[in-house]
Every structure is written in C-alpha cells, then in structure tokens.
C-alpha cells in the first residue's frame, strides 16, 4: 500500500494563533503531502515500497539520498504533528520534568536553551529533544534539511520544524517567536513523556 498523509488528531485551525490555518493548509496539506507523493514515486518497484516508513528512513540513510530525503521528511513531519496539541504547552510532569530540571537547572532554562538552539539552526532543519542511550541523558540536537535522529542512535522525544515553510506566513523571519510560541502553548508533553518512558 502506498504511503499516505497521516490524519491529524486536530483541525487545521486548532493550533491558531500560534500556527494559523493558512500555514497548516500549506505545511501539512502541500509540503508534507508533497514529500509523501514524491516518496511513493521514488519507491515504486524498489524493496522500500513494502517497508514501514521508519524502516525506509533507516534503510535509505547513506544509501539512497532521494528516498531518504522524502521518507525522512514524511516521518519528521508526522512526528512533529504528534508533538503538538491545541491543549498543549505548559510543562511535562514526572520523570521527564525531574530529569530536565536535573540537567538544565529549571524548565525555563531548558525552554530558553531549546529556543536559542532552534533560532541558531542555520538554514532549513529541525530542532529535537532526544534521549542519548550512550550517555543515558537528554540532549537538544539540531539537524539540517531532512536529517533525523531516527537514522542515528539517539531516540527522538520532541521536535520543532524550523524550515521557513513552518513559520514564514505567520511570523515572516521571526523564527524565534514561532519556536517560543510552540514551546509555550502547543507542545503535547504527554506525548513527549510517553516517548521518554519508552526510551529509557
């Protein structure tokens, strides 16, 4: 079966005003859809065609750049939408909160570090909170273009898309305002915490 654009668990206007309905129409409806369409064209007749999307990302990394770019972008976007909720924002609870405070000193210091790293991610890319199994610790990681922790040892917990298409309609060049808005008002910390419990 062909890869499909995932259904969102919220309406396209549900993330406003942090992310407008118009941005969602383009970002989800056109950019994400295009990665899925391109991927389906690229994998036709190849073994990738019969794999799960995360398998395609891992198997194509360093092997088939065009397939990887579109598969990773399809996966990264799906993960990004899952990290957001109209009822999101605030802070995580439990173990994730405790471990963030243990590393950064406070949740606010973590939030500011994440926003600063996202603002400093040169060009198009993604800013992630990951669990590093080697150090058994939390880390903020920037990736460029379609790069994804899924193709590394790190386990992705949270991501914010910092490609210009994610924010230019609503914020023009003010990426930092977009990332701060997402962190303060949209992050689904229940989803991020579940990822953390599974990771460690």
- For Fe ion, the closer of residues 118 and 166 by Cβ is 166
- For Fe ion, the closer of residues 43 and 166 by Cβ is 166
What is the nearest approach in angstroms of Fe ion to the Cβ of residue 77? 6
What is the nearest approach in angstroms of Fe ion to the Cβ of residue 27? 6
28 and 8 in contact (C-beta within 8 Å)? yes
Helix orientation angle between 53-60 and 65-82, rounded to the nearest 10 degrees:
140
- For Fe ion, the closer of residues 147 and 161 by Cβ is 161
Binding residues for Fe ion, rule CB under 5 A, total 3
Q: In this chain, which residue has its C-beta nearest to Fe ion?
A: 161
Contact between 191 and Fe ion by CB under 5 A: the answer reads no
- For Fe ion, the closer of residues 48 and 178 by Cβ is 178
- For Fe ion, the closer of residues 80 and 189 by Cβ is 80
* CB under 8 A, 24+ apart: contacts of 16-25: 17/170, 18/170, 18/178, 18/181, 18/182, 18/185, 18/186, 19/84, 19/170, 19/178, 19/181, 19/182, 19/186, 20/169, 20/170, 22/169, 22/170, 23/166, 23/167, 23/169, 23/170
Dist. CA 133–CA 199, nearest whole Å: 8
What is the nearest approach in angstroms of Fe ion to the Cβ of residue 70? 12
Binding track over 142-181 against Fe ion, x by CB under 5 A = -------------------x-x--x---------------
What is the nearest approach in angstroms of Fe ion to the Cβ of residue 5? 13
- For Fe ion, the closer of residues 124 and 132 by Cβ is 124
What is the nearest approach in angstroms of Fe ion to the Cβ of residue 24? 11
Dist. CA 156–CA 43, nearest whole Å: 25
Burial 67-82 (b: 16+ CB within 10 A, else e): bbbbbbbbbbbbbbbb
List residues near Fe ion by CB under 5 A: 161, 163, 166
């Amino acid at each position: 079966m062909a890869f499909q654009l995932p259904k969102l668990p919220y309406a396209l206007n549900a993330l406003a005003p942090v992310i407008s309905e118009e941005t969602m129409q383009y970002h989800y409806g056109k950019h994400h859809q295009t990665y899925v369409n391109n991927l389906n064209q690229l994998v036709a007749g190849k073994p990738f065609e019969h794999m799960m999307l995360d398998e395609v990302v891992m198997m194509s990394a360093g092997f088939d750049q065009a397939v990887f770019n579109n598969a990773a972008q399809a996966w990264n976007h799906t993960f990004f939408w899952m990290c957001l909720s109209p009822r999101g924002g605030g802070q995580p609870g439990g173990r994730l909160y405790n471990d963030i405070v243990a590393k950064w000193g406070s949740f606010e210091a973590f939030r500011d570090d994440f926003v600063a790293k996202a603002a400093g991610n040169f060009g198009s890319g993604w800013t992630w909170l990951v669990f590093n199994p080697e150090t058994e610790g939390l880390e903020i990681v920037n990736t460029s273009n379609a790069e994804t922790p899924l193709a590394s040892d790190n386990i992705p917990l949270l991501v914010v898309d910092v490609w210009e298409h994610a924010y230019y309609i609503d914020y023009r060049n003010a990426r930092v305002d977009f990332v701060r808005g997402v962190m303060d008002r949209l992050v689904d910390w229940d989803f991020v915490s579940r990822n953390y419990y599974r990771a460690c």
